[in-house]
Structure 1
Amino acid sequence: MTPPLKNDIQVIDIEPFLSGSTDKQLLEKIDRICSETGLFLVTGHGIDENLIDEAYAVSKEFFNLDESTKARYCKPDGSFLGYRGLHTLQASTKRKTVPDKKEVYTIGADDRGSNGKKALEGQPWPAELPAFEGILTRYYRELNKLSLGLSRLFAQALGLPAEFFKRRSDRSVSYLVTFNFPAEGETIPGQVRFAQHRDRDLFTVLTTNAPGLEVKDRQGRWYPVPVQPHAFTVNIGSMFTQWTEGRWTAPLHGVRNATLEETHDNRQTLTFFFNPNAEVKLSPLSVEDGDNINIGAPSDGADAEPQSVSDFLSSAWDLYRIME
């Protein structure tokens, strides 16, 4: 990774849009960002700051439990729900032996209906922390509500009907992942906190308490993503790349290791991966049902059967390796 350039990540106040205002300049800006960097920060999102702080706090309580206790909440069936410990997950298929330096707790879609994948079912909850389930379930639902609002913004930025993605997401297979990146401790040679990767969802909404996230634009330039308390970082995922036939490209990004000045505390991230309903087909938007405009280049595989969201996510889990 080349040294990051000065910050060039935009911060957008979405409160007027969520309140019903449609600003053509905002829509053009979103389209431009998603065509270039694919990542921006949002304020004015309406999520209670106290809830964000509570979600951080209860996540930290869990990660501070001893290893044997946390291990009880690691599902043994290959599911990503529940806990995964340090040095057990690898985000990049380019590094075949070195796991990421992070631990995670994943919460599946509790309102997804009957079409959720097996890997999103049977949510474990830590009995040692009575508030954990309530706080993170409420956080999940609030982030899902915000994501539905953002889906309207993305739809209009593409020239689609405002409800295009929302009406395909009433039983979404979205999931919330709380990450813990230790500030200190043993590091395997070549290991980083989160290897370079592209998210495989429709889009991602996250908040973090410390720097480290870096993103690459289409010109190959790397940028540090700024940390702004109670703001959310939004980046598009590979599902959008497929749906728009490359007009919007999911950005390559990763989390670097801590500097000496940053080793005083762990880095935490609360990440919401938003996806439509499992059965939705990712047909190129240029040929979808006639309720949109032609937004992508003609697809060489236009006659091929489009992937469903369910199949697309299954391929993502295959890429995100569990280290033995």
Structure 2
Amino acid sequence: MAGRIPEVDLDAWSKASDAERNLIAAELDAALRSTGMFLASGHGVPRAVIEDFRDTARRFFALSRDVKARYAIEAAYDGGWLEMHPPGGVGVPVGEGEAAPSAPDLHESFYVGPGHRTGDEQRDRFNYPANRWPVELPELRAAADAYTTHMVRVVQVVNEVLAFTLGLPEDFFTSRAQRATWTQNASWYPSYSSIGEVARGQFRNGPHTDLGTVTLLSRQRGVGGLQAWDEEDWFSPPFSPDSLIVNLGDLMERWTDGRWRALKHRVLPPSPTAPDEELLSLVFFFETDPDTLIEPLTVPAGGGLGLSPVYARRNVLEKLGVSPDSIPGVEA
């Protein structure tokens, strides 16, 4: 299975001829149809920037619970600290054959979003919620800003690759993502020795798909690490320390009318075979401009499932459990 997950060198892509790109795109298209994942190398994100954000986020999670609680999120779409996630994520089903966990997922998260402002207080609250930076660790903001600046750049390159692969104009996705909604998540997975016995069916992160268009993941290798679903079985994706994992979310599956699939994935529970293993993942969830109408592409670009159109941010918020009547902006 690992051989079916391609690695796209984004720097080489930028210099490639159309003929060379067509060869890359054919392999990429096959992977996105079957699994919804690929690796991105040549992304230009300095390792020092990645490790500085990871190390600084780890220092935040090491603060006392009382301190972290001052920055607790107040809504499902909010910025700040989340102590434990609901089983399987918010509003998304677990995978085939999986019983819903009876206990929360075993990780903490810290959420950061873009600083866009429209002047409409209600729109901004739902689309661009204010970030909550801990005064006890001022360097976290600088580390997060440096990292997310690169993520915004890289995801637009990925969007151009995806557009080419679909035979669309290169700016098809980027032109619809000028003031995009996104969430940068630092997720800390504590060790087995610090948690103790894990409940049956409990995960570090239960089976789910992401809600947006594209997710960029910087992960660490671990015994209790990432697994993906390919409609046959769970498998561990290839690990490359210098690459980002790119996986597609629900909005992209809808946008391609089912040609490409949202990646179903999970993070295994901490294992007694590696009792001191703790991991910290950096997860960039990208959407698109909030009022974008996601109209499923027609054949040949689209998959022909006949999915219905949705407004991007409204669709995400409803899956997060927000009442449709409270969401400002475009009509449902």
TM-score, structure 2 as length reference: 0.85
Letter in 1 for 2:280: Q
Q: Deviations over 1:148-192 (max 9, x none)?
A: 000000000000000000000000001100000111213344311
| 1:280 pairs with 2:286 | no
Measured after TM superposition, the shift of residue 222 of structure 1 is 2.2
Q: CA 1:87 to 1:284, structure 2 compared with 1: closer, same or farther past 3 Å?
A: closer
Q: Could you tell me how far apart the structure 2 residues matched to 1:203 and 1:78 are? A: 19
Residue 9 of structure 1, CA deviation: 3.0
How far did 1:238 drift?
0.9
Distance in 1 of aligned mates of 2:4 and 2:262: 17
Distance 1:38 1:87 in 2: 24
For the pair 1:195 / 2:206, whether they are aligned, the reply is: yes
Identity of aligned residues (%): 24
Tell me, yes or no, if the aligned pair for 2:258 and 2:305 is still in contact at 8 Å.
no
Whether the 8 Å contact between 1:183 and 1:258 is mirrored in structure 2 is: yes
| d(CA) in 2 for partners of 1:87, 1:121 | 19
Matched residue of 2:293: which SS?
coil
Whole-angstrom distance in 1 between the partners of 2:52 and 2:285: 20
Count residues in correspondence.
305
Provide the rounded CA distance (Å) in 2 between the counterparts of 1:189 and 1:100.
Answer: 12
Following TM superposition, by how much is the alpha carbon of 1:101 offset from its aligned partner in structure 2, in angstroms? 0.6
Identify the match of residue 109 of structure 1 among 101, 114, 133. 114
Mapped partners of 2:317, 2:11: distance in 1 = 35
**2:117 and 2:128 in contact (8 A); partners too:** no
Comparing 106-115 with 121-130, greater Cα deviation is found at 106-115
User: How far apart are residue 7 of structure 1 and its match?
Assistant: 6.2
Matched, 1:17 2:13: yes
- CA distance in 2 between counterparts of 1:44 and 1:255 reads 26
- Matched position secondary structure for 1:167: helix
Q: Which letter does structure 1 place at the counterpart of 2:296?
A: P
| Structural RMSD (CA) | 2.3
Partner residue in 1 for 2:228 = 215
Matched, 1:231 2:229: no
Tell whether the 8 Å contact from 2:10 to 2:157 is kept in structure 1 after alignment.
no
The 2-side partners of 1:50 and 1:21 are apart by: 31
Inter-CA distance 29–80: structure 2 relative to 1 (3 Å threshold): same
**1:257 and 1:97 mapped to 2: Cα distance?**
14
3-state SS of paired residue (2:109): strand
CA distance in 2, matches of 1:203, 1:14: 15
State the 1:127 CA deviation.
Answer: 0.6
Q: Could you tell me which residue of structure 2 aligns to residue 34 of structure 1?
A: 32
- Structure 2 spans left out of the alignment, 5+ residues: 95-99, 323-332
Describe the shift of the 1:32–1:8 C-alpha distance in structure 2 as closer, same or farther (beyond 3 A): closer
Alignment of 1:49-198 (within 5 A): 49-86=47-84, 90-91=88-89, 92-94=92-94, 95=100, 97-111=102-116, 113=118, 116=124, 118=126, 120-184=128-192, 185-186=195-196, 187-198=198-209
1:205 aligns with 2:216: yes
TM-score (norm 1): 0.87
Whole-Å separation in 2 of the counterparts to 1:312 and 1:213: 26
The answer on whether the counterparts of 1:9 and 1:223 sit within 8 Å (CA) in structure 2 is no
